[in-house]
Amino acid sequence: MQEQAETIQTKTETAAPLVISVKNLSVTYIGRDGEQTEAVRDVSFDVSDKPGCGEIIVFLGPSGCGKSTILKAVAGLIQPTKGECFVDGKLIKDVGRDRGMVFQTYTSFAWLTVRKNVEYGLKLQGIEKEKRRGLSGKILEEVGLAEFAERYPKDLSGGMKQRVAIARTLINNPRVVLMDEPFGALDPQTRWGMQSLLLDISKRENNTIIFVTHDVSEAVYLADTCYVLSKRPAHILERVDVPTFPVKDITLKSSAEFRTVENQLLNMLYNKSGKD
């Protein structure tokens, strides 16, 4: 049984290969005193590969429902109590370079410049300086930080610090980027700018982003596909394919079509996640 679970079929004649496959994921934490907290119950989803095109999958759920726990299981930071997670058909047993994670709190090294923070992962891999410079230059340009390459994190705003975190993850070119409420600590205007930046990045990069939030508007703005989660223990209430809006800019959020999808998701969250 265990051996069968090591790999899954990622390509069939009818289905596209799967980048991510999560099967019946359940997580129950056991505290030091033996107290059990069931965080995730039987969550299953597949993300198929769309070659040459980035995709954003959003998990929307109330605070404390188990969103971070789902991400941590895919990251390989925690082991499922039941079920399995696969990336490109490989069973996740540990963290790996095919997955990068961006957290809500800033995670840069205070003693390194922006450029050195961004190059850190490449340095660990033993990639030589010239190549590191080339790659960091490109990615810093992409996140709008080229002018700030020699600054230290303490001299940056919250939004800029999160750009560093995003750049540091993207430079490793992970197959899957896991983002845990990365804009949650930012003021609304910076947050909107960061959401637009993420959409731009996703268009250019060919990776899959799993983005977790409790903010309905953020979910509608970013998601290609949105999974609405129940309150704890998190399970999937609905999968929503968010319509492709012709133009995504600041006016979209106040448009009737955007509001309609927002209301649809709000109803799902509050009608169902409050019940059982």
Give the span between the Cα atoms of 23 and 70, in whole angstroms: 12
Which one, 59 or 120, has the nearer CB to Mg ion?
59
Does 105 bind ligand ADP (CB under 6 A)? Our answer is no
Which one, 166 or 229, has the nearer CB to Mg ion?
229
Under DSSP, is residue 172 helix (H, G, I), strand (E, B) or coil? coil
Least separation in angstroms between residue 274's CB and Mg ion is: 19
Task: Answer whether 273's CB lies under 8 Å from 237's CB.
Answer: yes
Written as six digits, the tokens of 271 are 């009608």
Does 26 bind ligand ADP (CB under 6 A)? Our answer is no
Does 39 bind ligand ADP (CB under 6 A)? Our answer is yes
Which one, 22 or 65, has the nearer CB to ligand ADP?
65
Q: Which stretch binds ligand ADP (CB under 6 A): 31-39, 93-101, 136-144, 183-191?
A: 31-39
User: Taking CB within 5 to 8 Å according to partner kind, which of ligand ADP, Mg ion, none is near residue 63?
Assistant: ligand ADP
Task: Answer whether 135's CB lies under 8 Å from 168's CB.
Answer: no
Does 179 bind ligand ADP (CB under 6 A)? Our answer is no
Does 152 bind ligand ADP (CB under 6 A)? Our answer is no
Least separation in angstroms between residue 39's CB and ligand ADP is: 4
Nearest residue to Mg ion, by Cβ distance, number only: 68
| C-alpha dihedral sign at 276, 72, 140, 183 | positive
Does 37 bind ligand ADP (CB under 6 A)? Our answer is yes
Which one, 65 or 101, has the nearer CB to ligand ADP?
65
Q: Strand order in 55-60's β-sheet? A: 99-102, 176-180, 208-213, 55-60, 225-229, 236-241
Distances (CA, A) of 168 to 76, 138, 198, 274: 19, 12, 14, 38
Q: 59 has which bridge partners?
A: 212, 227
Does 202 bind ligand ADP (CB under 6 A)? Our answer is no
Site string for ligand ADP, 64-83 (x = CB under 6 A): xxxxxx--------------
Interface ranges with Mg ion (CB under 5 A):
68
Other beta carbons within 10 Å of 145: 21
- What contacts 238, CB < 8 A, 6 or more positions away? 227, 228, 268, 272
Q: From 224, 231, 221, select the one nearest 268 (Cα to Cα).
A: 231
Residue numbers 204-233 binding ligand ADP by CB under 6 A: 232
Task: Answer whether 55's CB lies under 8 Å from 202's CB.
Answer: yes
Out of 29, 106, 152, 245, which residue is the one contacting ligand ADP (CB under 6 A)? 29
Least separation in angstroms between residue 67's CB and Mg ion is: 5
Does 51 bind ligand ADP (CB under 6 A)? Our answer is no
Give the footprint of ligand ADP on this chain (CB under 6 A).
Answer: 29, 31, 37, 39, 61, 63-69, 232
